[in-house]
Amino acid sequence: MKKIFLYLSATCISLICRAEPLGNSYAQISPEGEVAVASVSPEATRIAMDVVARGGNAIDAAIAAAFTLGVVDGHNSGIGGGCFILVRMADGRIFAIDGREMAPAAATRDMFVVNGIANPELSRTGALASGIPGSVAAFDKLQKLGGKLKFRDVILPAAELAEQGFSISPALAERIAATAGNLAKFPASAAIYLDKNNKPLPAFSLLQQKDLAGTYRAIAKQGPDYFYRGDFAKKTSRWMAANNGLITSKDFANYQVKMRKPIVSEFAGYTLYGFPPPSSGGMHVAQILNILEQFELDKLAPAERYHLIAEAMKFAFADRAHWLGDGDFTKVPLSLTDKRYAQIIAQKISLEKATADIAHGNPDVDIQHLMNKHTTHIAAADLEGNWVAITSTVNTSFGSKVVIPGTGVVLNNQMDDFSAQVGAANAFVLVGSDANAIAARKRPLSSMSPTLVFKNGEPVMTLGAAGGPTIISQVVQTLLYSLNDSMPVEKAMAQARIHQQWNPNLLFVEAAMPIEIQQALQKKGHNLKVWPTMGASQAIQLRDGKLVPVAEPRVILQNQRAN
């Protein structure tokens, strides 16, 4: 039996889920203890472990989980989107695989500007909202680098699940209902997620995706060429041409996985590997931790500590808005992760009051949309030495809301992650400069933050998160508590979270935070927004020679309540 209880620490209230020795249905370890997987879905973790039972390693398991999430968690991720992959191979090599979506060749700087003002609807829904998906190519690259099985072996189990169907979870039903109006605009999307009366499918009803199963099987048989040069690319090109979209078959054929150089930083005696631009995660996780390292954290009262974390986040997100973009198109200063730069920022921070926000005015904010758990993260590791961190997304719920007819594939709306106009906020209320402006074949900025942690040259943790811009803050806080405070990762992940992204100038705090700490933060000048729970992280930690997989306790508890 799983036991759930509240743990009162020196800093906050945390929610811990205790489970059987082999983990729960979200985070599992093989019977021999050789391979561990953590995901946001019991079905994805189960299929990953089935692949392990057939001889697969952590790489095979992670890819199998990713394809399965495209079936059961398609509102967050899938092959119509993109991903960032950090992997440490058994032979010690470390790769950063960029499977981020790419703007079509016909994309232009002001393609979403109408009458001088950026129109957010154009970048979020419909044919113009999508970039060329990169996940299939990235997963294939990862498989060839270190998987034990064939690509088809890690795809077909998910194809079977898509065809047989599964029971819609309350969380998925809620997301279908919230986006039903836009899904109804596209017949192929409505045919999957809505009933004959265009009403959203309810929780616990059967969701079958036979077209998606067919697409998976075609990729399993023909490889990525089916997706980028075969029927899928042709079907998408035809649909785009008929619906005023820009993506062509040539765009698909020209898509390439990029092999990036990881962001490497040091914190609390550990070495961290993060993902470089077009991810902002690697740089700003390192930057925030560098800033925090300038203070004597262990001597601070809980409210002072939270205040300091919030201030470090604020400075980092301000830099993100100005400097960050696709490194192939804009010069991103690596000095953002320099400890000397962190010292300069630290000198601007007062422990007594919040730093005055001198940025642009705050736009109207859709808080509910900002805090939704978009994206998904997969953590996998094995005792052979393969450590995998995959963060995958279609951007907002069901991406562009477009399913290409006959394919079952939901296309992303990643074009919204560009700066449609300097100072114009995207769906997550993030603003940017010309560094993240739209350009042909450019990749939009992302907050995805897959991370690997090393001690004395050996891997000890893989982690990442879902939740839009809160991905960065989640990863920072898990690393802070686990590395600086020596908490087991499950306890670190359960600490009450905060999030401050500079714009809007709000400090989001979880309701689990004691009221006296909230009041102390308000006295320091923070404008608080209390939120029930925040984000969804996954991690695996090596402890005493054993792999310990941990799935987000908030997600587990919410699903237990819903069921």
Catalytically annotated residues? 375
Burial class (CB in 10 A: 0-12, 13-18, 19+), 546: exposed
What stretches of 30-110 adopt beta strand conformation (E)? Answer: 35-38, 82-88, 94-99
* Bridging pattern class, strands 507-510 and 528-531: parallel
Residue type, 33: G
Residue type, 561: R
User: What is the C-alpha to C-alpha distance for residues 557 and 563, in angstroms, rounded to an integer?
Assistant: 10
467 Rama class: left (phi>0) / alpha (psi -120 to 50) / beta: left
Nearest to 399, CA basis, from 374, 419, 424: 374
What would the two tokens of residue 322 be?
């100005």
Yes or no: say if 176 and 190 are a contact pair by the CB < 8 Å rule. no
At residue 523, the 3 state secondary structure works out as helix
Q: Which residue has the tokens 């996780």?
A: 285
At residue 83, the 3 state secondary structure works out as strand
DSSP conformation class of 255: -
If residue 542 lies in a helix (H) or strand (E), which one and from where to where?
A: strand 536-543
Q: Which residue has the tokens 């599992």?
A: 28
Residue type, 91: D
DSSP conformation class of 129: G
Q: CB neighbours (10 Å) of residue 8?
A: 9
Nearest to 128, CA basis, from 400, 409, 395, 393: 400
Q: Hey, CA dihedral for 37, 472, 332, 458, is it positive or negative?
A: negative
Question: In the structure, how many helices (H) and strands (E) does the chain have?
Answer: 19, 22
Furthest C-alpha separation in the chain: 63
* Bridging pattern class, strands 94-99 and 376-382: unpaired
Residue type, 284: H
Q: Hey, CA dihedral for 552, 557, 562, 563, is it positive or negative?
A: positive
Residue 227, strand partner residues = none
* b/e map 259-289, b = 16+ CB within 10 Å: ebebbebebbebbbbbbbbbbbbbbbbbbbb
User: What is the C-alpha to C-alpha distance for residues 406 and 234, in angstroms, rounded to an integer?
Assistant: 12
Yes or no: say if 381 and 542 are a contact pair by the CB < 8 Å rule. yes
User: What is the C-alpha to C-alpha distance for residues 173 and 27, in angstroms, rounded to an integer?
Assistant: 23
Nearest to 468, CA basis, from 320, 330, 261, 286: 320
